[in-house]
Amino acid sequence: MPETPEWIPNERILSFEEIIRLVKIFCDFGVDRIRISGGEPLVRKDVERLVSLIASTPGIKRIGMTTNGFYLEEKARSLRKAGLQSVTVSLHSLRRSRFATVTQRDAHEKVLQGIKVAKEVGFDSIKINAVIIRGYNDDEILDFASLANSENLNVRFIEYMPFDGRKMWGMDKVVSGEEILSKIKKLYNVIQLEREQGSTAVNYKFEDGGGEFGIITSITKPFCSDCDRLRLTADGKIVPCLFDTHEYDVASLLRSNASDEEIKDFLRRVVKLKARGVESLIKESSVASLHHVRPMYVTGG
């Protein structure tokens, strides 16, 4: 996050009714999975009601959430009850002081407590997302692996992408998936799992004990060829690809009495305009040519 984020006025934020109308339209196209991310979804008032509305939309098979975990302790139970099936917590350091420095909050214990409560209430899946940044937390790779193994969690190691709010990204700070895996293999015997189509991660389990981990090689081995995601921002923009410099305003259509068919036509056009993704950008130019597009806290990943 930047030090002074730009707050969006309330009237620009999509209402639950507008979101659900779009979810229904997405379902007509065959979408069956929704992930609520952010910004931070748990600061949205009555987010449980949104979860419940999405979960009960015909056609939706899976609903997950990515959160910074700050309010998870208080909300895990009600979210589970509302129909949330999986939760992913962004936790980029296991060291309290480091965590406080980057998040500007001394909330490490609170987030760990949130993960504990999430385990108690029985989500189908709990994942920890850790973006590995050279010089910041690359000395914690084994600590994260050990957490996954001992606590039976799924930790996902993510290559650093140029989407940070303070524009600090540089190729010298990227720790490759290969390097992450080789560090873990020095301590653990691991088994690679079959990759599900469209999955962002290559997943592994430990030969001994529980837990799994995934490696998201978004820079060194991107997975654009079967990427089938679309992103809808809080203020009603469709972002087809994280590296797309364009975004497409569906909010104004929703608010101008457009019919469902008109919105569907718009979405068909937007999908066709989807950028070719990071894989093509690197092939056509180089990794060094990647540049900051929009911060991840706007699109939520």
**Of 91 and 241, CB closest to ligand SF4:** 241
Residue 39: asked if its preceding bond is cis (omega within 30°), the reply is yes
Give the nearer residue to ligand SF4 in terms of CB position, either 68 or 200.
200
- Does 243 bind ligand SF4 (CB under 6 A)? Our answer is yes
Q: Which of 276, 274, 254, 273 is nearest to 264 (CA)?
A: 254
Is 242 a residue that touches ligand SF4 (CB under 6 A)? Answer: yes
What is the C-alpha to C-alpha distance for residues 41 and 87, in angstroms, rounded to an integer?
11
Nearer to ligand SF4, 102 or 224 (CB): 224
| Residue ranges in 264-283 that form contacts with ligand SF4 under rule CB under 6 A | 277-279
Q: For 235-240, which contacts have Cβ atoms below 8 Å and span 24 or more sequence positions? A: 235/8, 235/12, 235/13, 235/14, 236/12, 236/14, 236/18, 238/267, 238/270, 239/294, 239/299, 240/270, 240/271, 240/273, 240/274, 240/275
Q: Would you count residue 227 as binding ligand SF4 (CB under 6 A)?
A: yes
Of 258, 272, 177, 270, which is closest to residue 231 (Cα–Cα)? 270
Please tell me whether residue 222 binds ligand SF4 under the rule CB under 6 A.
Answer: yes
Answer yes or no whether residue 224 interacts with ligand SF4 by CB under 6 A. Answer: yes
Which range binds ligand SF4 by CB under 6 A, 76-84, 168-176, 241-249, 282-290?
241-249
Q: Please give the size of the binding site for ligand SF4, defined by CB under 6 A.
A: 10
The answer to the question of residue 254 lying near ligand SF4 (CB under 6 A) is: no
- Decide: is 230 part of the binding site for ligand SF4 (CB under 6 A): no
70, 98 contact by CB (below 8 A) = no
At its nearest, how many Å lie between ligand SF4 and the CB of residue 169?
A: 14
Helix, coil or strand: residue 252 = helix
Under the criterion CB under 6 A, does residue 232 sit at the interface with ligand SF4? Answer: no
> Residue 29 CB, nearest distance to ligand SF4 (Å)?
17
What's the distance, CA 209 to chain centroid?
Answer: 27
H and E: helices and strands count for the chain: 11, 11
Residue closer to ligand SF4 (CB basis): 97 or 288: 288
Strands 237-239 and 125-132: unpaired
CB of 221 to ligand SF4, least distance (A): 11
State the greatest distance between any 2 C-alpha atoms of the chain, in Å, as a whole number: 59
CB 41 within 8 A of CB 7: no
10 vs 110, 134, 180, CA distance in Å?
28, 37, 41
Near ligand SF4 in 21-60, by CB under 6 A: none
Task: List phi, psi (to 5°) of 61.
Answer: -105, -30
We find the least distance from the C-beta atom of residue 200 to ligand SF4, in angstroms, to be: 7
| 241 forms part of the interface with ligand SF4 (CB under 6 A) | yes
The residue among 136 and 243 lying less far from ligand SF4, judged by its C-beta, is 243
Residue closer to ligand SF4, measured from CB, 22 or 278? 278
The least CB distance from residue 128 to ligand SF4, in Å, is 21
Where along the sequence are the contacts to ligand SF4 (CB under 6 A)? Answer: 222-224, 227, 241-243, 277-279
